[in-house]
Amino acid sequence: MVTSAHEGMHRIFQQRPEVLKPVFDVLGVALPEKATVDAITPDVTETRPLERRIDTLLRISTSDGDEFLLAVEAQERRDAKKASSWAYYVAHLQAKYGLPVLLLVVCRDAPTAKWATGPFDCGTRGWITQRTRPLVAGPNNLPVITDSRTAGKNLAMAAFSALAHARSPHSSAILEALNRALNEADGETADYVYEFLEVNLGNTPAGEKWKEIMGFVTYFPGRGTVRETAYLEGKAEGKAEGAAEDRTALILRVLDKRGIPLPEETRDRITSCTDLDTLTLWFDRSLTATTVEDLFAEG
């Protein structure tokens, strides 16, 4: 079954390609600082009814003129069928695009990561026709980032590492460090990281920890960040809207109980008003009004 965590472990390479360089560094594969990354269709289905689909497929053009395909697979457990599937992906993509292909498998537990390194051989009688050797990123080689300054240097990579180490005893420290880094950050990347972890950690213990961290007390330490200001303004606005709705309901109830006819356009005027002072004045007048026009009298 495809889970949120499964999706997050490969989609982050599409949505935040800045994670590629640090991940490749961990794996000992050279990748220039400047590279163009384009997501292409992951569909490798044949004309006959046999659907095959890679989790994420990227076309990478580097500053040194090299170009290759990167197939990213998120793997949650050992699966004997993957030996043939992965070999097929690599051979099919090389034939289809005429480009070198690298296969990256990302895992969240060490035993699966160890298995995924392979190699996976196709051959017989002492002869290997094809060998598949995936690059594997997982808790055994991705850094445990518990320092907020380190996390702040590449927020997307820190989020990816937090997801990979979600089952680690260091998970809480990782998430707290990432949250401190995010409190110092503004903009679209911070928004992405908050949502990425909330969705992909789900209802796991790490997900519950993240929701706790995102609570008001720890989420906003009074630093006046853009996120904190937006939250407080939204909270105040929500309270004001609630108070306006309450007063509107009271005005309508008093008019109804007193048997005062209320034309539709007048009802709309009352319900569309959001000014608390005006609504308070109308409520006071509704207690003694004999007609609805008395609510809006001048002076």
Convert the pLDDT of each residue in 127-145 to its tens digit: 888 899 999 998 888 888 8
**CA 229 to the chain's CA centroid:** 22
| Least confident segment among 26-30, 104-108, 199-203, 219-223 | 219-223
pLDDT for res 218: 42
The mean pLDDT of 26-38, rounded to a whole number, is 76
What is the distance between the alpha carbons of residues 5 and 108, in angstroms, rounded to a whole number? 9
Residue ranges per domain, the chain?
Answer: 4-137, 148-219, 238-296
Range in 152-156, 186-190, 273-277 the model is least confident about? 186-190
With beta carbons less than 8 A apart as the criterion, state whether 151 and 19 touch. Answer: no
The residue that leads in pLDDT, 298 or 59, is 59
pLDDT at 265 over 60: yes
pLDDT at 14 over 80: no
Tokens linked to 103: 């296969």
Q: Mean pLDDT lowest for which of 11-25, 159-173, 262-276, 281-295?
A: 11-25
In this prediction the pTM is 0.60
Stronger pLDDT, 11 or 251, i.e. the higher one: 251
Q: What is the mean pLDDT of residues 201-205?
A: 81
Options 3.30.1490, 3.30.360, 1.10.3470, 3.40.1350; which CATH number does 4-137 get?
3.40.1350
**pLDDT beyond 90 at 27:** no
Across 26-30, 78-82, 187-191, 254-258, which has the greatest mean pLDDT? 78-82
Say whether pLDDT at 259 is over 90. no
Provide the percentage of residues in the chain whose pLDDT is more than 70: 83
Measured at the CA of 74, the angle between CA 72 and CA 76, to 5 degrees, comes to 160
